[in-house]
Chain A
Amino acid sequence: NFMLTQPHSVSESPGKTVTMSCTRSSGSIARNYVQWYQQRPGSSPTTVIYEDNQRPSGVPDRFSGSIDSSSNSASLTISGLKPEDEADYYCQSYDMWSHWVFGGGTKLTVL
């Protein structure tokens, strides 16, 4: 099976843009859709990106997702950072048996 590796933490200032990565250890990142989940402190997770680059209803367009086959990674980009974006972000994809695989999560700090 494969792993999804995320940086432990990233930080950026309000109003700036941050990009966090999710690297697949084996097999093509493009083979299976990637989702991104946001979890604010003390709250349930929410979906911010599904199927690589789709935003659920209500998610602002400051959030975008992409896939880069050259680095075998997915990325979540948040532009115009706001204090409320401070949260843990998890990427998720599927293995060949349709089982979910989660990344370890990235803690975003908005300085």
Chain B
Amino acid sequence: EVQLVESGGGLVQPGGSLRLSCAVSGISVSKTYMAWVRQAPGKGLEWVSVLYGDGTTYDADSVRGRFTVSRDDSKNTLYLQMTSLRVEDTAVYYCASPITMIAAWGQGTLVTVSS
């Protein structure tokens, strides 16, 4: 069974930083396509970043230059380093291995950016 467990969310002031983690079991993060997707309160899904097995990354325009996706193969964990956070980054952040026969999503972690 594939499981993804996010952590690291919380309350942060505008301009602050936060690192989200996504602990993965059942699949290898180094061999699959992983994504971060967020959902602001009462809104739809918004793509944030993806990380391919070969290490290629892509980021949404809204977070490029501020957010960085990475992974630790030895810990089988995906990360999202978030800097220069803005009020509009407030959302539940989901990690996912969404586009595969054994698709899986995490339970999400809430990030609140507020003074």
A-side residues, CB < 8 A to B, are 33, 35, 37, 39, 44-47, 50-51, 54, 56-57, 88, 90, 92, 97-105
Contacts and interface: CB of A to CB of B under 8 A. Distances in A.
B45 interface: yes
Interface in B12-44: 35, 37, 44
Given A45-B45, A92-B47, A99-B58, 19 more contacts: A33-B99, A35-B98, A37-B98, A39-B45, A44-B94, A44-B105, A45-B94, A46-B105, A47-B98, A47-B103, A47-B105, A50-B100, A88-B44, A90-B45, A99-B60, A100-B47, A100-B50, A104-B44, A105-B45
B84 interface: no
Interface of B: 35, 37, 44-47, 50, 58, 60-61, 94, 96, 98-103, 105-108
Contact of A50 (B35, B45, B99): B99
Contact of A45 (B37, B50, B102): B37
